[in-house]
Chains A and B, each alone.
Chain A
Amino acid sequence: MSPAVSNPDRRAFLARLAKAGLLATATGIAGFKLYDGTGPSPSSADQTALTLPEYAIDDPSKPQRRNRLAVVHGNDRKQTVNQGLKALGGIEAFVKKGERVLIKVNAAFASPPALSATTHPDLVTELVRLCLKAGAAEVRVADNPINDPATCFELTGIGPAARSAGARVMLPRTASFQPVSVSGGRLIKNWPVFVKPLTGVDKVIGVAPVKDHHRSGASLSMKNWYGLLGGRRNIFHQEIHNIIYELALMIRPSLVILDGTTTMMTNGPTGGSLADLKQTDTMILGTDPVAVDTYGAGLLEKPIETLPHIAKAEAAGLGTTDLDAIEPIISNLG
């Protein structure tokens, strides 16, 4: 035996070597046991993605349900939205004391209010005021615009209007998105959605202008949810009607408001000229997004057959295109 074997340093070295070997072996075995050669399957991916909770206050699939749609004619948004809410039971029918409310606006473009490409700030102001008056603990106003978010919220007037009325404006940040999947959906699978403003809210109100849209034919209340998508969402333009339909599946709002005070009849969704607009003096409110959009399509003078996403949403039980069946409450403020 060489002198080195009896040396305590060498013994210690060999002991450490043995321990390291055991650790490496254990790690290798653990890695082998845990190795997933096939990778995650689509179904297991779905399980990791979020599904948005239900915000609807009634079931639009029930055809006998009434008071689902209110239409008010008039050119003063403050008056028409108040009248419409009154017809549906008042803001208290939608917002309870202490609840948190998200108002999902359309702030897609850095465009002035006069062009009606975005939700009108007067409507935002009044809705925030009404929600707070009903006792809402917090009102959030949010969208993931096409253009730079901060610029969009400022130039549309939505940001200043919301803040001055007491709402919290939530702009998209990197951490604001989480993957969401829609049950039965083909396009929205593990897709990043602007979830942050929805976190912890009790009610969701969608507020959109009535617009022509080059790709989808119309931009109405269901199309408004496109503003919750993140990622390279423009790839969905190739399947525009399917994505609008899946967005309607993804989120069931408490209330939708379609502002047809001024309708963008041509060159949507951006418009650009006041010549693209028509004074249609109509505010549409409802719990049935299909019915609301059916009425909105009429303002655009487009048959609903040319807007397949509406029929798809109806077939999925999200509402009805049979406006007579739900007896819209129509009023005229002159």
Chain B
Amino acid sequence: MFPAPDYDNPTSRENAVSATNRQTTKKETILSLLFLAFLGAIFLVILSVQSRFNPAVENFAPKNIGTEASNTNEPADNLSIPLSAGIKTMSSPESFTPDTLSNKINGKAELYLSAGFVQLQAQRFRPIDDPEAWFEVFVYDMGTPSNAFAVYSTQRRKDVEKLPLTQHAYRTANALFFITGRHYVEMIAATRGEVVPPMLIAFAKKYLGHVQEDGQTEADASDPKSVFPTEGLIADSIALIAKDAFGFSRLDQVYTAQYHGPDTEMNLFVSLRPSSKEARTLAEAYRDFLIQFGGTEVTGPESSPLAGLFIIRIMDAHELIFSRGPYLAGVHMADDIAAAGKLAVKMDRKLAEMGIAK
């Protein structure tokens, strides 16, 4: 036991003071560090748990309720479009990744994600002298020109005016849509009117000049289109389904085209597969898929306009499927089986003319 300090004794008082001011021992320092390390470990565990927070409450933070700058996981590239005379920016640029795309376009995000979406940049602009005629520019980086064509073609509006801006470009009363390189671009105005089309076209030209300066050039995304027979083909009807074509998960990169039929339009499709064997295997798998979902295979005279052709009757329509070389092709949901058979034969002949062996 320590003796009690005698505060009347100067020597004892000095000893007591020196005891309270003494240097900590090495043992005490190590113990303190161990305690601090333990507390630090608890802090790290809490951080780790918090980082895997219940998604139900994750977005309680105001930043996720939707501020423009918060929708990106990466630093946003400003669109940096040189503005036409009389145009000014109306909002900050927004940037969206695959994880955040639905924060901008909600239910349509899947269309882009399934086609290889990389990034969206969007920004609103307006004429200086007409605030009501504001417009928003969406630049979707789809990774490849083919992917850009997929989202462009599957959303293409009817009865539009084609534009010579790029190989694939058109406008409607209030909007302008085109592909440049791997980018699909939408320019959507809040109003219609005489000033809108020239305003959007001028803006698009500025944009195109800008991206070409950046070294991007337009590539022809639609080479596989050339396999479609031209007779009966409805103009601007060729589209690319990037994934899950006709509800079949194994069917991707399928080009479709509309054809005039005797009574109704017909939908011809073609997909280039890695090999002849794969094309045939996929044709069989697609046939089996349709049968699994209630289809019945049609046999007999009407099923033989083409060797190796599968005809499946499903939901009061017919699906015709065949392969030639590495191409899987067919007619989708045809009402008129005879007309569809002729169209399939026409497609097969076109492939043969291209030197594709059976």
Residues of A within 8 A of B (CB): 2-5, 7, 9-10, 108-110, 112, 114-115, 144-149, 151, 155, 172-174, 177, 179, 189-192, 213-216, 219, 230-232, 234-235, 237, 240, 266-270, 272-276
Contact = CB atoms under 8 A, between A and B. Distances in A.
A177 B65 CA distance: 11
16 contacts: A3-B3, A9-B4, A114-B174, A115-B188, A147-B104, A174-B61, A190-B56, A192-B56, A214-B107, A214-B110, A232-B58, A234-B109, A235-B55, A237-B102, A266-B157, A275-B160
B188 A273 contact: yes
B66 interface: yes
Contacts of A4: 1-4
A114 B190 contact: yes
Given A147-B103, A269-B107, A274 B172 contact: yes
Nearest to A238: B110
A109 B124 CA distance: 13
A146 B3 contact: no
A267 B61 CA distance: 31
B174 A274 contact: yes
Given A145-B66, A237-B102, A232 B55 contact: yes
B216 interface: no
Nearest to B61: A174
B102 A234 contact: yes
B107 A232 contact: no
Contacts of B110: 214-215, 237
Contacts of B105: 146, 270
Contacts of A151: 68, 91
B56 A269 contact: no
A155 B238 CA distance: 35
Nearest to B70: A148
Contact of A240 (B4, B107, B186): B107
A292 B106 CA distance: 23
Contacts of A267: 108, 155, 157
B78 interface: no
Nearest to A190: B56
Nearest to B188: A272
B65 A7 contact: no
B83 interface: no
Given A151-B68, A276-B157, A269 B175 contact: no
Give 7 closest A-B pairs by Cβ, nearest first: A112-B190, A275-B157, A234-B102, A275-B172, A215-B107, A273-B172, A232-B55
Contacts of A230: 59-60, 65
Contact of B158 (A145, A174, A213, A275): A275
Given A148-B66, A214-B107, A274 B1 contact: no
A155 B136 CA distance: 12
B191 A114 contact: yes
Interface in B98-136: 102-111, 124, 134, 136
Contacts of A177: 60
Contacts of B173: 273-275
Given A146-B106, A173-B62, A276-B157, A214 B56 contact: no
Interface string B120-163: 00001000000000101000000000000000000101111000
Contacts of A189: 56
| From A173, A190, A231, A240, residue with most partner B Cβ within 10 Å | A231
B65 A173 contact: yes
B192 interface: yes
A192 B47 CA distance: 22
Interface in B43-84: 54-62, 65-68
A266 to B, nearest CB: 7
A179 B62 contact: no
A215 B190 CA distance: 25
B56 A231 contact: yes
Contacts of B186: 272
Contacts of A266: 155, 157
Contacts of A232: 55, 58-59
Nearest to B187: A272
A172 B65 contact: yes
A164 B178 CA distance: 39
Given A172-B65, A231-B59, A219 B107 contact: yes
Nearest to A4: B4
Nearest to A177: B60
A64 B55 CA distance: 42
B158 A268 contact: no
B72 to A, nearest CB: 13
A10 B57 contact: no
B106 A108 contact: yes
A2 B4 CA distance: 9
Nearest to B67: A148
A274 B103 contact: no
B175 A272 contact: yes
Contact of B57 (A3, A179, A240): A179
B334 to A, nearest CB: 20
B289 to A, nearest CB: 19
Contacts of A214: 107-108, 110-111
Given A273-B157, A273-B175, A273-B188, A174 B107 contact: no
Contact of A274 (B66, B106, B108, B192): B192
